[in-house]
Amino acid sequence: MIRDPESFTILLDTISRFVRDTLIPREPEVVDTDEIPGDILAQMRAMGLFGLTIPEEYGGLGFTTEEEVLASMALCYASPVFRSRIGTNTGIGSQGIVIDGSPEQKQKYLPRLAAGEITGSFALTEPAAGSDAGSLRTTARRDGDHYILSGSKRYITNAPEANVFTVMARTNLQSKDARGVSAFIVDRDSPGLSVGPYDVKMGQRGSHTADVIFDNVKVPAANLIGGQEGMGFKTAMKVLDKARLNIAAVCVGVAERLLDEALNYAKQRQQFGKPIAEFQLIQAMLADSKAEVYAGRSMVLEAARKKDSGPNITLEASCAKLFCAEMVGRVADRAVQIHGGAGYMQVSAVERLYRDVRLFRLYEGTSQIQQLVIAKHILR
Ligand code: CAA
């Protein structure tokens, strides 16, 4: 659902102009420095990008799901690391509070997350709990009006930048599965909380992940999301439903960029006396990519509209995440192929994006986890 088509079109145009005039030209700098420049962060704050999905009553833009996915597609025509920097505030690092938080929790955290004054982060994955997220071992032991958190989290996006974490931890110490898990809001400056060095990744330079370690961290009981123990895994899954659809949109945006890079190269690169775009084997790769990008875009929009009309979209989000993450991998591969040797060189955008998009088949649930979720729903 698009609430006000006229003003939304203006906003999308503004994002596209920002992408074209500011973000794309700065991509090499982000790769060189492994940081998003401060002036770009300031512009993203001023444009309200950190608060796209946070309700208007808490200072955000209150985007519907359809508006959110369209904005992500537009933004991810530039390197996906720019979106990643705002993505924990608009997605996994705020949505636990938006969906299940108490009015007090919302009031305390959402306005600053929306303004981009603070950065949120989502701490679910652990060294021994990746796909089997329900088996996590970080514990939260009740102690009067506090909980004491102990354990460690792994590959946590934006952990080095984060001021506040949504942390899934086990409150029922007897349990070993999802039912004993609760979700907490934990401030970065809590004594005993530390963040490890940046992980060295295959791609996505400029977007950081790191370990987060909890050494007897004292968290007020008021920071238990939903005010009830044992609901944390469900909160995490609800957050991931929304996030997976958004990652599918991210994949579509990057795939559109890759296709344009391939098209532009094919039109200007001459071999055998003419542009390689005139050869049918090149055209086949371009056509396959176009058809797949269109399929991905259609799928994401259909799922987003369904979500805005009310129903649960766990199934559709997993379908979209599975298809789009795999699709952008194929589109990236063809874009490199069309570039030939030039596509293997680190100066080319397609070489970098080829490595960047590999992550989409892994995080927020691997392709295999999406297949399991889909199968479970259709076999019910
Ligand atoms: N919405 C609401 N509730 C849900 C749900 C959903 N989408 N999915 C499951 N639940 C509920 C179930 O109904 C069940 O509730 P009951 O106990 O009342 O029946 C409970 O949660 C447990 O569900 P399951 O029995 O299905 O749980 P499971 O242990 O078998 O796990 C799984 C299911 C799909 C494999 C899940 O563990 C999973 O999604 N794993 C992948 C983890 C993942 O995506 N990690 C990504 C980390 S975050 C990240 O990558 C972000 C980043 O850094 C950028």
Closest atom of ligand 1 to 314 CA is: 7
What per-residue confidence (pLDDT) applies to 335? 98
Q: Is 364 in the pocket of ligand 1 (CB under 6 A)?
A: yes
What per-residue confidence (pLDDT) applies to 82? 98
Contact 72, 79 (CB under 8 A): no
Chain segment 258-295, per-residue pLDDT in tens: 999 999 999 999 999 999 999 999 999 999 999 999 99
**Residue 316 appears among annotated catalytic residues:** no
- Alpha-carbon distances of 199 from 36, 129, 154, 168, 194, rounded to whole Å: 16, 18, 10, 21, 15
The single residue listed with the structure tokens 């952008």 is 328
Closest atom of ligand 1 to 135 CA is: 29
Q: Is 365 in the pocket of ligand 1 (CB under 6 A)?
A: yes
Whole-number Å distance between alpha carbons of 245 and 34:
27
Q: Name the helix (H) or strand (E) containing 13.
A: helix 5-18
What per-residue confidence (pLDDT) applies to 18? 98
Give how far the C-alpha of residue 310 lies from the chain's centroid of Cα atoms, to the nearest Å: 22
- Distance (Å) from CA 311 to ligand 1 centroid: 18
The single residue listed with the structure tokens 């919302």 is 106
Whole-number Å distance between alpha carbons of 202 and 177:
32
Amino acid symbol at 264 = N
Q: Would you write out the chain's pLDDT as a tens digit for each of its 380 residues?
A: 999 999 999 999 999 999 999 999 999 999 999 999 999 999 999 999 999 999 999 999 999 999 999 999 999 999 999 999 999 999 999 999 999 999 999 999 999 999 999 999 999 999 999 999 999 999 999 999 999 999 999 999 999 999 999 999 999 999 999 999 999 999 999 999 999 999 999 999 999 999 999 999 999 999 999 999 999 999 999 999 999 999 999 999 999 999 999 999 999 999 999 999 999 999 999 999 999 999 999 999 999 999 999 989 999 999 999 999 999 999 999 999 999 999 999 999 999 999 999 999 999 999 999 999 999 999 99
What per-residue confidence (pLDDT) applies to 106? 98
Contact 1, 64 (CB under 8 A): yes
Nearest-CA neighbor of 88 among 224, 200, 214, 212?
A: 212
Whole-number Å distance between alpha carbons of 243 and 68:
11
What per-residue confidence (pLDDT) applies to 97? 98
Chain segment 103-149, per-residue pLDDT in tens: 999 999 999 999 999 999 999 999 999 999 999 999 999 999 999 99
Q: Which residue lies with its CA nearest to atom 46 of ligand 1?
A: 364
Number of H helices, E strands in the chain: 12, 9
What per-residue confidence (pLDDT) applies to 68? 98
> Backbone phi, then psi, for 240, in 5-degree steps?
-70, -30
Closest atom of ligand 1 to 233 CA is: 21
Q: Cβ atoms within 10 A of the Cβ of 132, count?
A: 12
Q: Return the structure tokens found at 102.
A: 């108490």
